Amino acid sequence: MVIIEIIMIAIGLAMDAFAVSICKGLSLKELNKKSILIIGLYFGIFQALMPVLGYFLGKNFEGYVILIDHWITFVLLGYIGANMIREALSKEKEDINDNLDLKTMLPLAIATSIDAFAIGITFAFLQADIILSAFLIGTITFIISCFGVIIGNKFRGTYGKKAKFIGGIVLIIIGIKILIEHLILQ
């Protein structure tokens, strides 16, 4: 896996956190650096940790699935991307809550990083450098989430669903690319 693919995956994964960050930015009565950093850190840390957990799970089952790893990657990325697109096209309103305590932020951080866990499994199959991958995913998510809070607070959330839609498309395209590469090389 080349670094540009990892960065693209990181950006795609960060779109859920970006969308939720926009909603958190919308809900903040007062925008300040502390709030921006708290939200960014929650999402960035969990987006970095979850691929590592997925990676080690994937490594334990590598011998069983090495022959179909590209299909697993394609299905996981396709599913995650399609789910992000479905959520973006949904008419449902996202719940708005201005609390930044552990009880509020922990479930949001976990929910937005489930996709990163699945990506970690695929990274194991692709022999990706998990330390570099986790660092890039966490850092990019942190930065994008911080901007999401600011954008949400300033522009009243007009970009959340668009960002999730674009992130879903990026993940699907990467899944198709990986599948085609493996099918051609076999």
pTM greater than 0.85 (yes/no):
no
**pLDDT category of residue 134 using cuts at 50, 70 and 90:** very high
Length of the chain: 186
| DSSP states along 145-168 | HHHHHHHHHHHTTSSHHHHHHHHH
**What's residue 67's pLDDT?**
67
> Tokens 């999730």 label which residue?
164
Instruction: Calculate Rg over the CA atoms of the chain.
Output: 16
pLDDT tens digits, residue range 67-122? 676 787 788 778 877 887 887 788 776 555 578 989 889 888 888 888 888 889 88
pLDDT tens digits, residue range 143-170? 999 999 998 888 754 666 777 788 778 8
Q: Please give the torsion angle defined by the CA atoms of residues 87, 91, 97 and 102, in that order, rounded to the nearest 10 degrees.
A: -20
**What's residue 65's pLDDT?**
60
Which segment of 57-61, 65-69, 87-91, 175-179 scores lowest on mean pLDDT? 65-69
Boundaries of every domain in the chain: 3-185
Pull the structure tokens for residue 97. Answer: 């809550």
**What's residue 41's pLDDT?**
97
User: Which ranges of the chain does DSSP label H, i.e. alpha helix?
Assistant: 3-27, 33-60, 62-65, 69-89, 102-125, 130-155, 160-185
DSSP assigned state of 31: -
Where residue 53 falls (left for φ over 0; alpha for ψ -120 to 50; beta otherwise) is alpha
pLDDT tens digits, residue range 3-48? 999 999 999 999 888 988 887 887 787 889 999 999 999 999 999 9
